Chains A and B, each alone.
Chain A
Amino acid sequence: MDFLNALVAFLNFVFIPATAYGAQLALGALGATLIYGILRFSNFAHGDTMAFGTAIVILGTWWLQSHGISFGPLPTALLALPFGIAVTAVLVLATDRMVYRYYRRVRAKPVIIVIASMGVMFVMSGITRFVIGVEEIKFSDGVKFIIDPNAFKAATGLSEGLALRGTQLITVVTAAIVVAALFWFLNKTRTGKSMRAFSDNEDLALLSGINPERVVQITWIIASGLAVIAGTLYGLDKTYKAFNYFSLLLPIFAAAVVGGLGNPLGAIAGGFLVAYSEVGVTYAWKKVATYLLPESLAPDGLMQIISTEYKFSVSFAILILVLLFKPTGIFKGKSV
């Protein structure tokens, strides 16, 4: 019984939240890594693209709700997603046209483009706050619990409750669908193949008649789609606050670098690795340990390795370890 309780506590506090968070990070890192692979720079504005897209999704959600439209048991925000993606893609394409295209033409150093992306980040975060303000917003509706902790306790007779929130399940399912679609696109369609070719060897791709501007545009559209979905899922799971998305930049980059920059599969693995380590290191293991260990060995402290305030240092530590020992990432990424 104690073992089951420990298992449930582990699932409830570590595994389920970390999986949902990992799926969100993986989607964010996928966007960043795609941009890196095709456009060859680390996009500092990625976090704020997520924030902007989510803001538009929230506006869409409110509009739908005000017309009495809902998505049944699912959150209304999912209905507003296409709208959010479309608006964000238009903004991002306009940014590319006005800012990045020039640097591509003059073949500027990647670091100059990174600085330009910092400028874009400034403007975009300003626009986001302009659109939706700075307050915390909860926009999740639909079913709250798939597994209710109290019902779970009553049904199983365990003293630990297991909670599976609707948003967590939706996050994982959506992420799985999006990733499957993305890989199908990259591996099976002509455009996807041309993107991979461009990422592998730009000159050879140009010689084969691939239109670079088209590849770049499609990359931006896909990346903004991924960013909006990741941002919305994150906002649904927690709450929406524009500034939080800037802080997501570090775990996202860490995930992308760990997996190997430019490698989509690596970004997914990296996202989950960062999420599991972050939650695992900041969780107070006392509860689980108390169930597992005999009473005489029960821990006094919280058994928390570092406090939650330092969760970003986990992604940082992972990042540094990878940079030191395997700079190209777990899966072979680019190292230009």
Chain B
Amino acid sequence: MTLNWRNIGLFVGIGVLFFLEGIWDWKIGSDASEQFTIFAGSWNSMLVIVNLCLISSIMSLGVNMQWGYAGLFNTGIVGFVALGGLAPVLISSPQVPEIWVGGGIYRLVAGLALGVAVIAAAVALYGRTTGRTRALSMIALLVGGFFLYRAVLDPAVTFIESNNPATYGNVGGLGLPTLLSWPVGALFAAVAAWVIGKTALGLRSDYLAIATLGIGEIIIAVMKNEDWLDRGVKNVIGIPRPWPVPREIELQASSGFQEWVASMGWDPVTTSTILVKLLYGSLFLTVLLVLLWACEMALKSPWGRMMRAIRDNETAARAMGKDVTKRHLQIFILGSAICGLAGAMLITLDSQLTPGSFTPLRYTFTIWLMVIVGGSGNNWGAILGSFLIWFLWIKVDPWGNALMYTLTQGMEDGSTLKDYLIESAAQMRTISMGLILLFVLRFAPKGLIPEK
């Protein structure tokens, strides 16, 4: 990013928005039942938004790598984020001792390994045989392997799911530190990206879009339905917090904190909640800064120049001897891994995994919007876009309600039109996000901070 007044002004402008959210209590409406918040005037509310902005920024960095550096169109971001979110559940949740027996987790792992082995064998066999032998042996291997896999896996799944289903009913975790689950989340997403990239990259660009759309939906479907893995729609709660972040209650109980708050004359409850959010925020900010630094260095390096060369003219790059498909695969894996990392961080922040909350609108298209609005190919732009779009995403709802309320002030109470208008404010978010995308794409295709 060039350091000019325009770009600084953009960041300052966003900063002002967040400052207003923290300091200015502005509500529209007469009585308490009909109030719409323009700005909350609460630092807590502001920090909630900021933390999600930081996580979204990391996702945008990942997407920006794929789209901005390499021109790959990934429409399955939601899947990679969700897969990363699985890591805190499997790594950091407390162990469930009852299932660490022969018929339980060991059998489960054996079953899964068998499944992978069958697929690997099929791939190997495919390369070594031809003609009718190939067809017959593939069918025999895949059908036989499938039934064998189910025969090994199914009893283990039944056993695990029947173990105290109200609380567990899943494999539980390993009880390892929560921070460790973040890189593991990135790893999960990277493995999925390798599989999908191997098949769909190197084909046409829309095919990648369609294929990733599919993988996103399938990952979400698996997480919603495989109860043994993550309790499905019953959700996993109580994922431990990462290392420096205490629970609010512990904080309020500690005598040192009480003295400090008393000496400053602050409210202990509010202070503790703000402090926890600040700690989370500084963790996220550290990760973001490290990634940003790495991305900037990568972009400046010969590797980054090669990537952009490939993006701008694939044929020319190929003629120069660059292995385009391999580079694409590399960057697809890297970008998806970053999305997985962000997913793990998101679940850590919430302390719970709710597979039902992963919708493409929220996690795929919004992240796309952030990258495009900020400026494709520009890391600082991706971050700016994330802060702006997430702020709007949160605020469009109450602002829409406030607008409808103001518009319908003069109307009679109980009139159909008034009710209809107030109800329809709920659709403002979808429409406005779509319009922003269309307008930016049409009138400022390079985004707020254009790539040099």
Interface pair A309/B368, CB less than 8 Å apart: no
Contacts of A142 in B (CB 8 A): none
Choose one: B71, B207, B213; the contact of A250 (CB below 8 Å): B213
Q: How far is the CA of A115 from the CA of B71 in the complex (A)?
A: 12
- Whether A114 lies near B73 (C-beta < 8 A) is yes
Cα of A42 to Cα of B204 in the assembled complex, Å:
11
A309, B361: Cα distance in complex, Å: 20
Binary per-residue interface labels of chain B (355-375) against chain A in the complex, 1 for a CB within 8 Å, 0 otherwise:
000001100010010001000
A116 touches B214 (CB 8 A): no
Within 8 A of A (CB), among B176-231: 199-200, 203-207, 209-211, 213-215, 217-218, 221-222, 224-225
CA distance A41 to B372 in the complex (A): 19
Pick the contact of A116: B73, B426, B441 (CB < 8 A).
B441
The smallest C-beta distance from A183 to any residue of chain B, in angstroms, reads 25
Q: Is the CB of A118 within 8 A of B221?
A: no
Stretch binding the partner chain, chosen from B30-38, B408-416, B430-438: B430-438
The one of A115, A125, A336 in contact with B441, judged by C-beta atoms closer than 8 angstroms, is A115
Q: Mark A295-314, 1 if CB is under 8 A from B, else 0.
A: 00000000001010110110
B426 nearest in chain A by CB position: A129
**Complex Cα spacing A7 to B255, Å:** 76
Knowing A130-B427, A335-B204 are in contact, say whether A120-B225 is a contact too (CB < 8 A).
no
Q: Count residues on chain B whose CB falls below 8 Å from chain A CBs.
A: 43
Residue of A nearest to B425 (CB): A130
Contact flags A309-327 to B (C-beta < 8 A → 1, else 0): 1101101100110011001
Instruction: Indicate which residue in B199, B431, B438 contacts A130 across the interface (CB closer than 8 Å).
Output: B431
Contact indicator A249/B213 (Cβ below 8 Å): yes
Contact A323 B203 (CB under 8 A): yes
Residues of B within 8 A of A323 (CB): 199-200, 203, 207, 211
Contact B431 A312 (CB under 8 A): no
Tell me, rounded to whole Å, the shortest Cβ–Cβ distance linking A325 to chain B: 10
Q: Which of B210, B217, B442 contacts A102 (CB 8 A)?
A: B442
Query: Could you say which residues of chain A place their CB within 8 Å of the CB of B203?
Result: 323, 327
List of B residues within 8 angstroms of A254 by Cβ: 210, 214
Contact A257 B434 (CB under 8 A): no
B interface list, Cβ under 8 A from A: 71, 73, 75, 146, 199-200, 203-207, 209-211, 213-215, 217-218, 221-222, 224-225, 360-361, 365, 368, 372, 424, 426-431, 433-435, 437-438, 441-442, 445
Closest 4 CB pairs of A and B: A122-B434, A126-B431, A126-B430, A123-B434
Known: A257-B207, A316-B218, A320-B211. 14 other contacts (CB 8 A): A41-B206, A44-B75, A115-B73, A116-B437, A116-B442, A118-B437, A250-B210, A257-B210, A312-B217, A316-B211, A319-B210, A319-B214, A323-B203, A323-B207
List A residues at the B interface (Cβ < 8 Å). Answer: 41-42, 44, 99, 102, 109-112, 114-116, 118-127, 129-130, 246-247, 249-250, 253-254, 257, 305, 307, 309-310, 312-313, 315-316, 319-320, 323-324, 327, 335-336
